[in-house]
Amino acid sequence: MIFILFFFREQPLIPFISGLLAGLMMIFIGSLKLVEPHVSLSLCHDCLQYHHKYGGWILKWRNIQRIDQPRIHLGWDLVPLPYIGLKIKDYDDFLTLITPRLAVRLLTEQRSVLLQALRNEQQDCPSGTCGGSLQGEGLLEESRFRSSSGQRYEGVIAMLANRMTRLRELLGYDLLVPDNSLDRDPAEFIRLLHQYQRESNLIQIN
């Protein structure tokens, strides 16, 4: 104890205090990173913005054909999934704004919902004959894609486009936003999105 007191008395206090404060600041910043939202949305008068820690995308209201909560069959019932579904009109208008880094992340995050949709919505799954599509290559997408306008894509952007196409076939939507990124109930948030879309359409008409 005497040695410690002697050590601190002999050493300059300013560098020690500065280092201590810097360490506390790093801990504080790290804690903020842990609690920050993984995904968030911004609603603007002309577009919907998606913010992800690995990037983001922008979707014009005029490019959204349908907004709702996707559902899957569970026996005779339709059960809502914990996502907001977006069906878009023009893939090119969306894909040109996506970075490969975000595309990789979205493909990874959507594997579980794709697997669930394949199990519940694929016609041959109830009979138990769809096992091959639920494993390995069945969950991978082609690395080439050609849009309806003839635009060609390759790599992870093409894989994301093919995933969007497959989700549309299974669930009716191209993009899925997890409902834990919303600031309110999914049904209420969907009504808010519809309101922004209607107001945007009125502005364009006028």
pLDDT tens-digit map of 151-165: 999 999 999 999 999
Please write the tens of the pLDDT for every residue from 82-131: 999 999 999 999 999 999 999 999 999 999 999 989 988 776 555 555 55
Residue 206: C-alpha distances to residues 20, 48, 199, 203 (Å): 60, 21, 11, 5
Please write the tens of the pLDDT for every residue from 42-89: 999 999 999 998 989 999 999 999 999 999 988 888 889 999 999 999
pLDDT of residue 34: 41
Residue 85: C-alpha distances to residues 98, 150, 164, 172 (Å): 18, 25, 11, 8
The least confident of 54-68, 165-179, 191-205 is 191-205
Residue 97 dihedral angles phi and psi, to the nearest 5°:
-105, 0
Domains in the chain: boundaries: 2-34, 38-205
Rg of the Cα atoms in the chain:
24
| Structure token pair of residue 193 | 């999105």
pLDDT of residue 33: 39
At position 135, the amino acid (one-letter code) is Q
pLDDT of residue 21: 56
